[in-house]
Amino acid sequence: MNISTPPYKSVSRAASWIVIGANGIGALLTIAYYSFFESVPTGDAPVASPPVLLLAFNVLLTALLLAGGVFIGGLTEKYHPKWVERLQAGEPAENMPDNVRREVMNYPFLSATSSLVMWAIAGFALGYLPSGEVGAFFRVFGIGGILSSVVTYFAIEQVWRPITPFFLPHGKLSVIKAFRMSVLRRLALVFFLVGVYPVTMLAFVTLTRARAMLDAPNPEVIYSNMLIAAVFIGVVGVLTSIGMAILVTRSIVEPLRQLQQAMEKVESNDLTAHVPVVSNDELGYVSERFNEMVGGLRRAEVLRNLLNLYVSPEVARAAIEQGTNLGGQVVNCTILFSDIRGFTSLSEKLPPDQLIALLNRYMSRMVDVVIANGGIVNKFGGDSLLAIFGTPLNPFDDHAARAIRAALAMQSALKEFNAEQAKADAPILKIGIGIASGPAVAGNVGGEGRIEYTVIGDTVNLASRLQDLTKELHQDILANEPAIRAATQTFSIAVQPLAPVSVRGKAESVAVYAVLHRVI
């Protein structure tokens, strides 16, 4: 995160003004209450005018207390400001000591605590000392202190949250030992300030005035005073309720909104989604776990992509969905086997790096052709390629036609590849392709430590043997009779019958056809 958005100095300045503003308003409310409503009126006026000297003294003392609060609040910035420049200079946040992390996390709480300390002093100086009553202390402390400190906490937290990830980019706020304001505490505090607190103040004013009205010579004056005090408390209570509702609602809704947006990104397969962790409450914990979950999905996506490179996507998908149980089943499928002719002599001429680069370029073209025709590249054998059509992983009924189309397309792709090779004065390749349709066993073969999805049986051996025969018979593509018979039901091809060949492991000769080209 870039500290320039938002600037640290602006945030720090805003926090200072919040402390001054919240405590200043609290001081005005306290002075107004004590000047006009604390004492029961004894004259004819419902609201008595306080002595000018006493009012001036209260204002001066309040100003001194505010200054003291700002000074104490500065103690909450003992460590972390020094790290702003260090982080901006590129020093890793991991080097930040734990006491700096705690100070960053505790900043709103420490600011509110310094406010409470000054209000405790104000309660003693303005409440207890003049009257000698403990209740007066709590009224001063309660009217201005609690309200100002709570507002200070929630307001500073709002402006402080956006820069928290700058100091704590790892986002693991829950492991830092710092003050924790849970969602339940937030709601309970709001309920107290907007529900219990005003009602208690109204009850206190009403009871004191009601008792005074019984003995007063002019009850109407006390009644008017009670109404004015009730309106005063009611207006303050409503404004406090609105302010607290905005602050607390934003502290809960904003993280949820960011989490919702991030979840929508993940739903659309955008695994770059990240939720800034700005608190150590339940919402911060959920944000941490969400980021860890997305990180796990990113790692799984990398593994899945790597798995798809080492095995076909169909094999990977089957392993994920169905497990890796050993065993197989007999299926009627088509096997395509291709091989580069003269590769041994070619490998002796080229350096290893050029040889591998040549193979990778060639195989990339061939694999694309096989996949485009619905085949699965089952394995590579150096310069050879084994593709399968019509297995349980790609169960096409026209598997023979797809295999022959793939073979024709591979020869066409090879022509383009060789044209590029000729321009670069690079070796020209020639391949032979053998195709066989028939029964084969398809499934997972191996042991507990290593398994492979493959096809085995006479059909596979026949495809390999037919590929070998392409060199002897000077043909590019050879196929057995079942493959030709099944393919011609789908499209027309030109074929040349060849003399039956004997295949190792088979008692009878096998009818072989040379595939020439497709007739449109």
Task: Point out the residues of the chain with pLDDT beneath 70.
Answer: 1-6, 35-76, 303-328, 446-451, 505, 517-520
Paired tokens of 495: 């074929």
142 sits in the region (left: phi over 0; alpha: psi -120 to 50; else beta) called alpha
Print the SS3 string covering 236-286: HHHHHHHHHHHHHHHHHHHHHHHHHHHHHHHHCCCCCCCCCCCCCCHHHHH
CA distances from 347 to 46, 342, 354, 380 (A): 108, 9, 9, 16
Do 159 and 14 meet the contact criterion of CB atoms below 8 Å apart? yes
Q: Which helix (DSSP H) or strand (DSSP E) does residue 380 occupy?
A: strand 376-380
Count of CB atoms within 10 A of residue 443's CB? 19
User: Which residues neighbour 80 within 8 Å (Cβ) at sequence distance 6 or greater?
Assistant: 100, 103, 104, 107, 167
What is the distance between the alpha carbons of residues 258 and 290, in angstroms, rounded to a whole number? 11
Segment (H or E) for 58 = helix 52-74
**Tens of pLDDT along 368-406?**
999 999 998 888 888 899 999 998 888 889 999 999 999
Using CA atoms, how far apart are residues 333 and 482, in angstroms rounded to an integer?
Answer: 10
Q: Are the CB atoms for 22 and 151 separated by under 8 Å?
A: yes
Q: What is the pLDDT of residue 477?
A: 95
Q: What is the pLDDT of residue 512?
A: 93
| Contact indicator for 32, 50 with CB cutoff of 8 Å | no
Single out the residue of 323, 444, 337, 325 nearest to residue 391, CA to CA.
444
pLDDT of residue 144: 76
d(CA 306, CA 302): 6
Predicted pLDDT at 115 = 82
Strand 431-446 to 384-389 pairing? unpaired
Note the pLDDT of residue 366.
94
Domains along the chain with CATH numbers: 8-295 (no CATH), 325-518 (3.30.70.1230)
Q: What residues contact residue 340 under an 8 Å CB cut-off, 6+ apart?
A: 346, 362, 383, 384, 429, 430, 431
Please report, for residues 115, 224, 341, 372, 377, the alpha-carbon distance to residue 429 in angstroms, rounded to integers and kept in the order given. Answer: 83, 106, 7, 22, 20
pLDDT of residue 241: 82
Taking the CB of residue 447, how many other CB atoms lie within 10 A of it? 7
- CA–CA separation, 477 vs 503, rounded Å? 17
| Cα 29 to Cα 205: distance, rounded to the nearest angstrom | 15
- Identify the CA nearest to 127 among candidates 143, 113, 114: 143
According to DSSP, the β-strands at 327-340 and 431-446 are antiparallel
**Quick one: pLDDT at residue 324?**
54
292 vs 301: CA distance, rounded Å: 14
Residue 476: CB partners within 8 Å, gap ≥ 6?
411, 431, 432, 433, 470, 514, 515
Cβ(333)–Cβ(444) below 8 Å: no
Phi/psi region, residue 133 (left: phi>0; alpha: psi -120 to 50; beta: rest), is: beta
What does each C-alpha distance from 210 to 19, 205, 223, 236 come to in angstroms?
37, 8, 8, 22
Q: Do 112 and 149 form a contact (C-beta atoms < 8 A)? A: yes
The strand pairing partners of 441, in sequence order, are 330, 456
- Burial (0-12, 13-18, 19+ Cβ within 10 Å), 422: exposed
Distances from the Cα of 325 to the Cα of 314, 317, 363, 450, 471, angstroms = 16, 14, 30, 12, 39
Work out whether the CA dihedral 474, 477, 482, 488 comes out positive or negative: negative
Residue 2: the pLDDT is: 44
Angle, CA 173 vertex, CA 171 and CA 177 arms, to 5°: 155
Query: What's the confidence (pLDDT) of residue 53?
Result: 53
Q: What pLDDT sits at residue 326?
A: 45
The CA distance from 315 to 299, in Å, is 20
pTM flag (> 0.85) = no
> Residue 413 has what pLDDT?
95
Q: What is the model's pLDDT at position 64?
A: 66
DSSP 430-477: -EEEEEEEEEEEEEEEE-SS-EEEEEESHHHHHHHHHHHHHHHHT-SE
DSSP structure string for 137-189:
HHHHIIIIIIHHHHHHHHHHHHHHGGGHHHH-TT--GGGS------HHHHHHH
Residue reference for tokens 């904003």: 254
The helix (run of H) or strand (run of E) holding residue 379 is: strand 376-380
CB 3 within 8 A of CB 166: yes
